[in-house]
Amino acid sequence: MRLQKKDHNQSPIIHNPRKRLLAVLLLAAFSFAAVLGKMFAVMVVQSGDLQAKAVTQWMRDVPTEAARGRILDRNGTVLADTATRYNIYVRPNATGSKQDVAKLLAEVFWYEYNDILAKISVHTSEVTVARGADKEQLDALMESGLSGIYYGEDNLRYYPFGDFMTQTLGFTGFDGEGQTGLEAYYDKYLAGTDGMILTDTDLVGREIEGGGSYYIPAVKGMDVVTTLDATIQRIAEGALRTAEARFQPKSAACVVMNYETGEILALAEYPSFDLNDVPRDDLETLFGTSKSSVVSTVYEPGSTFKILTAAAALDAGKVGVTDRYYCSGTRVVDGQKIRCWKAKGHGSISFAEGVEQSCNCVFMDSALAMGTELFYDYLDAFGLRAKTGVDITGETSGIFIPEQSVKSVDLARIGFGQAVAVTPIGMLAAAASVVNGGRLVTPHLLSGITDGYSGETVSGSFPDRGTTVSAATSETMRVLLENVVKNGSGKSAYVPGYRIGGKTGTAQKYENGHIAQGKYISSFLGFSFEEEAPFAVLLLVDEPQGYMYYGSLVAAPLVGDVFENIFAYLGVSPEFTGEEAEVVGTPFSLADYTGMSVQQARAKLAALGLHVETDGEGSTVKGQIPAAGTVVDGRNTVLLFT
């Protein structure tokens, strides 16, 4: 081994203790700061989350569902309410005797003893054993004194009138959330905020002796006060039951709206179902009848659309009330022959008479006189190519041929309500503007939201959507529409002693792009011009069975009944005039007109003050409705079969 010689001249290594001390102090300070930072994060920043996690570990919570707010009509009648029910839980580790608990549950809920014993014997912290228990069942459990049984409040949504306003009110799901109708639209107000019951437990879920229980109360939902009137709704639904019995239709609907404010007083639809027994296991029925067809489906309006054509043409100055037209029974437009409903034509007729008699030729000429651009400007003003903003789920808008694609033949058909599709609520709102001075109101169902604790009510706000026609045009249209009911196709809607206007509609239906033979939508859109009842009523009967499918025969009499019952309910007194006595006349027995020529029968019936419709293009009467011997008066319409 070679030894290295030590160099006595090499300088010794000198260690500086101050630097080492500084490094130690810095390390200590950093560590202390890290600890303080962690403590701050745990105790301040994360304290809420960590405390919540801790609570979930040493406490068990049982939810208490908030009671859903009520839905009321305008007079305070409860349309939808909530009853308290109870969900029952068992904590297996907290039970003294599982056999005793199982026996009690079997007695109270009619369970099989062995099944329920097996259920509460599983190794879990908590098991649900019953939902929707009533107060009597809960009392039986609590009075037993057995440990390990707990409960949470639940809510059962129920509807006092059952099959009533089905599509309008809507229903809730199993979780209590609104799914359709007003229940869905105003769910955030109706829902409320859930609460809970907290109980101190040990690691395995057993209640700690001497531990505490904490109750966080649920906050009840707000009440929704609607514009609906339960009595007027019954009247509307009664009209639909009559339609069902007389005509066995595919469906039917009736809407009553205040045309000055847009408040909907009734919205009835057939078919429907009991809201307390929602057909969840029958999806076809559920999907087919849950949504309101009044807002979510479109239809070809037919002659009720003539209300809008007449108002637009008058307002634009393209026609005058006394202008004369000639109806030969057809018009040829773009080489296509378009028929008037009266095959032999109305002959020479004024614009006012054309409105009374619903002459298609008059309205074709009116639309063509306006031109596509101007007519479509009015359609937009009437709000028909947009949604109305009605406060119910599922609203759609009307369907129109694109303006740039409209031909003259299309415009002519649109003039009398063909080649367009509108929603019933859109048609109702547009027509309301024609008689209320030209204001396009927003149809709505909400009157206000009421806080269940303070009782304070916040009113809904539904401003007008614009102006359609002038006040002068509106006044002229009121006169013309009143004459339709006094002298024209709407006589069946006449109620003696009251001012009523309106328009019938008989629209063809289409299937796969072609006219469906024998399928019609019969309708009547009527207006009360009584100051105490400024109401519009739209009634539609989809595919009435049998020969009676004209709106004047099917829908108009039902609307007359609706108005008559509303006037009686509101105490609106009739005011009779000599002219009205002539309209009604003395009741008489209808003669037999079969075998006569149509021309002869028409003349005899006109002399009696009766409105006449014909079915067929023959020249001889083969049958009639009402039948010979039926007692009628001047309000009746007679259908002659040729």
Would you call 573 exposed, middle or buried from its count of C-beta atoms within 10 A (0-12, 13-18, 19+)? exposed
Cα Rg of the chain, angstroms = 37
3-state secondary structure of 521: strand
Nearest-angstrom CA–CA distance, 602 and 607: 8
Rounded average pLDDT over 20-41: 77
3-state secondary structure of 215: strand
Would you call 128 exposed, middle or buried from its count of C-beta atoms within 10 A (0-12, 13-18, 19+)? exposed
- Find out whether the peptide bond into 271 is cis, omega within 30 degrees of 0: yes
3-state secondary structure of 132: strand
As a residue count, the chain comes to 642
Q: Pull the structure tokens for residue 389.
A: 């903003």
Residue 410: partners with Cβ closer than 8 Å, 6 or more residues away: 401, 419
In terms of Cα–Cα distance, which of 608, 605, 607, 593 is closest to 641? 593
Rounded average pLDDT over 457-482: 94
pLDDT, tens only, 281-309: 888 888 889 999 999 999 999 999 999 99
Residues 229, 301, 351, 376: what is their CA dihedral angle, to the nearest 10 degrees?
100
Q: Pull the structure tokens for residue 148.
A: 């390990």
Spatial contact of 196 and 151, defined as CB atoms under 8 Å apart: no
Spatial contact of 204 and 125, defined as CB atoms under 8 Å apart: yes
Residues 324, 325, 326, 332: what is their CA dihedral angle, to the nearest 10 degrees?
170
Query: pTM, whole model, 2 decimals?
Result: 0.79
Nearest-angstrom CA–CA distance, 487 and 304: 17
pLDDT, tens only, 71-98: 999 999 999 999 888 889 998 888 888 8
DSSP class of residue 417 equals: T
What mean pLDDT value characterizes the chain?
87
DSSP class of residue 42 equals: I
3-state secondary structure of 46: coil
Helix axes of 135-143 and 98-109: crossing angle, nearest 10 degrees:
160
Helices (H), 41-125: 47-58, 98-109, 113-120
The structure tokens 């009421």 sit at: 450
Spatial contact of 89 and 62, defined as CB atoms under 8 Å apart: yes
Is the pLDDT score of 1 beyond 50? no
pLDDT, tens only, 53-78: 665 555 556 667 788 999 999 999 99
Is the pLDDT score of 638 beyond 80? no
pLDDT, tens only, 318-346: 999 999 999 999 999 999 999 998 888 88
pLDDT of residue 5: 47
Helices (H), 14-72: 17-40, 47-58
In terms of Cα–Cα distance, which of 559, 521, 527, 539 is closest to 635? 559
Spatial contact of 536 and 525, defined as CB atoms under 8 Å apart: yes
Q: Pull the structure tokens for residue 190.
A: 């109706």
Helix (H) or strand (E) holding 354: helix 351-357
Nearest-angstrom CA–CA distance, 205 and 147: 13
pLDDT, tens only, 4-30: 444 545 555 555 677 777 777 778 777
* Catalytic, out of 272, 292, 293, 303: 303
pLDDT, tens only, 487-498: 888 989 999 889
Helices (H), 171-279: 181-185, 187-190, 230-247
Greater pLDDT, 15 or 514: 514
Q: Say if strands 195-200 and 213-216 run parallel, antiparallel, or are unpaired.
A: antiparallel
- Find out whether the peptide bond into 279 is cis, omega within 30 degrees of 0: no
Q: Pull the structure tokens for residue 317.
A: 């100055």
303 an active-site residue?
yes
DSSP class of residue 493 equals: G
Residues paired with residue 330 on neighbouring β-strands, in sequence order: 339
pLDDT, tens only, 622-633: 776 677 777 777
Nearest-angstrom CA–CA distance, 529 and 501: 7
Is the pLDDT score of 315 beyond 90? yes
3-state secondary structure of 499: coil
Is the pLDDT score of 428 beyond 90? yes
pLDDT of residue 60: 58
Helix axes of 424-435 and 306-315: crossing angle, nearest 10 degrees:
40
pLDDT of residue 116: 92
Would you call 387 exposed, middle or buried from its count of C-beta atoms within 10 A (0-12, 13-18, 19+)? middle
pLDDT of residue 515: 79
Nearest-angstrom CA–CA distance, 614 and 490: 15
Helices (H), 248-291: 283-290
Rounded average pLDDT over 206-225: 74
Q: How confident is the model at residue 206 (pLDDT cuts 50, 70, 90)?
A: low
Spatial contact of 639 and 614, defined as CB atoms under 8 Å apart: yes
